[in-house]
Amino acid sequence: MTYIYRVGVVGAGAMGAGIAQVVTYAGIPCILKDTSKELVDKGLATIRGIYAERVKKGKMTPEQVEQKMMLVGGSTDYGDFADVDLVIEAVFEDIDVKKKVFADLGRACPASAILTSNTSALSITAMGEASGRPDRVAGLHFFYPAPVMKLVEIIPTASSSTDTVDTLVNFCESIRKLAVRVKECAGFLVNRILMPYIGEAIWAAEGGFGSVKEIDAAMVKFGMPMGPFLLADTLGIDVCFKVALILEQAYGERAKVPVTLKALHEQKRFGRKSGAGFYSYSDQPEFTIAAASRGDFGVEQILYAMVNEAAFCLEDGVASPSDIDLAMLAGTGFPPMTGGLLRYADAVGIDVIVQRLRSFESTLGPRFKACGLLERKVKAGELGQKSKRGFLDHT
């Protein structure tokens, strides 16, 4: 196993700065790089701001903050990565840009260094090939905001060495994160299941089953920490749209991009960061989804779409049932009292969910076609808690 004594982070935006703060809080020296001194300084200010909030809450002293800030340096030169053991790339979601970053890192970093990407959906394999050291490359996907969210997805490629993966698992533990290893695919694990949460909410509003506020309120009442529309605004409509396009290309009809998401992107209503998205955070007008009312919104429309995608993830070998539940609890805030998405599905009954998916398919379209795994479980009598076996064992 490789020991991580020094970390490099490429990209000093909100995500990169948040990751750098997590690393330094764990006592590991970190170098934060971007393309200009202005961007680097802004990133360092973001890190200091995160620490300042901890001081306000009485969790740190100003002296402790200064000690942590001494662990982070800024740079615009890959030459400063000559002695790093791990790099976490966190630039914007463009595969060509990322491939160039990995080519540069492959030349600048020690041969033993592990190179990782924080991408939420793009090809880790392509980045590994660009680096010239594919055995030392993997995905290391943090969730926004990195200082708060506990989950990290580790995404090995077919070329990633055992040492690379073991080192990343150990590193995540050292920075107090929960690591879930997932198979490389478009969207990995959490985003594959999270996009139906956002996408189906938009489809429901477009179909006249509820307003943005009503659907958000219903999902919060169910137990989610944030409604799907507010979540999309928080993550960034531009980010959600890019991920949605990748998923649609990979998974077709069931991941079809809603028209409203495209419209918001075209209007540059990117969410909180731009002052307006589904909601307005400035003097910009509120956004309304015009649709004739077709009835009351039911949370099952969203939740069963998520269960269906989770079943596809299982069928594709992306992760185990227990890891899917852990990822949903730690990565999305799925209500803890449920035990996770799949345990929730087992409590409802897989036969009930399949029946409702068929009903949704007949009225709302082919995106609700039930995963073959769900159909097979029903035929095998693996219905969930009532049959003692479903996604999980209940004996």
Q: Which of 68, 141, 242, 343 is catalytic?
A: 141
- Does the annotation mark 394 as catalytic? no
Is residue 109 within 8 A of residue 115, CB to CB? The reply is yes
Bond into 145 cis (ω within 30): yes
Extract the tokens encoding 172: 């995540």
Is residue 68 within 8 A of residue 25, CB to CB? The reply is yes
Extract the tokens encoding 395: 């004996």
Strand ranges in the chain using DSSP code E only, listed in sequence order: 7-10, 30-33, 72-75, 86-89, 114-117, 137-142, 151-156, 178-181
Residue 296 burial (10 A CB sphere; 0-12, 13-18, 19+): exposed
Whole-angstrom distance, CA of residue 78 vs CA of residue 108: 6
In angstroms, the Cα distances linking 217 to 119, 191, 200, 261 are 30, 22, 15, 20
In three state form, how does the secondary structure of 290-336 look? CCCCCCCCCCHHHHHHHHHHHHHHHHCCCCCHHHHHHHHHHHHCCCH
Is residue 314 within 8 A of residue 259, CB to CB? The reply is no
Is residue 331 within 8 A of residue 337, CB to CB? The reply is no
Whole-angstrom distance, CA of residue 345 vs CA of residue 266: 36
In angstroms, the Cα distances linking 227 to 213, 217, 231, 280, 308 are 9, 7, 6, 15, 20
Whole-angstrom distance, CA of residue 309 vs CA of residue 105: 35
Per-residue DSSP letter, 277: S
Q: How far is CA 176 from the centre of its chain?
A: 18
Sheet strand arrangement including 30-33: 72-75, 30-33, 7-10, 86-89, 114-117, 137-142, 151-156, 178-181
Q: Which residues does the annotation mark as catalytic?
A: 141
